[in-house]
Chain A
Amino acid sequence: MINWTVTLTYEGWPTANELDDFEDALMTFDALVSSVPGLGFQAILHVDSADMIGATMVARDYAEPLAPGKLIELRAMTSERHVAQADEPNLPELVSVAEIADMLGGVSRQRVHQLRSNLAFPKPLAELRTGAVWDARSITKFAAQWDRKPGRPAKIGHAS
């Protein structure tokens, strides 16, 4: 037997009490029922079965007549995969101009702003009032491909 996690997604807007009743009805599957604002609601069921199709059919057949909504999506995966997926970050690592300056080998922030006019420079994910933020992975890729031109030679002293 393999432990499967089956996620059923429904269209509809049941009340909190209706969601509670639905979850209670799925208690034997240790189900979690939650609303998904803007979409509907989901039921996550844990089913032991020899194969994924069998687990999916058990979950669907049991939940379908009880659900206060219309089934619009069905996903199944091993519970091991479900736990791993839940642990995956759902936001990229974010960086601002200051971090990018460091990632590009310690250039100035002004140089980063100049580089933004380079067509190859990644577009920011968001422009905030305090500045733009980028996906760190896009900057890492840019840094690996960037053909850095030498700047002005550093001043080593002042002429008298």
Chain B
Amino acid sequence: MNSDIRDIANWARSQGWDINDTADGYTRFFDPEGAYICRYPATPATHFAA
């Protein structure tokens, strides 16, 4: 898990969320009802310059 999201992941767990680090290098968030919400990469990319 990327250290940027460690605090929010811990908070989400305390609220019944399921947070898993997966083999593809992402941390995945599931809400208390089990619905998949989003993922966060271990190494986020930089933003696009238009």
Contact = CB atoms under 8 A, between A and B. Distances in A.
A33 B49 CA distance: 19
Contacts of A32: 38, 40
A1 B49 contact: yes
A62 B36 CA distance: 25
B9 to A, nearest CB: 15
A61 to B, nearest CB: 11
A35 B35 contact: yes
Contacts of A48: 47-50
A54 interface: yes
Q: Chain A contact residues: over half helix, strand or loop, or mixed?
A: mixed
A52 interface: no
Interface residues of A, number: 23
A62 to B, nearest CB: 9
A54 B35 contact: no
Contacts of B39: 20, 23
Interface of B: 31, 33, 35-40, 44-50
Given A3-B47, A32-B38, 6 more contacts: A19-B38, A23-B39, A29-B47, A30-B44, A30-B48, A46-B47
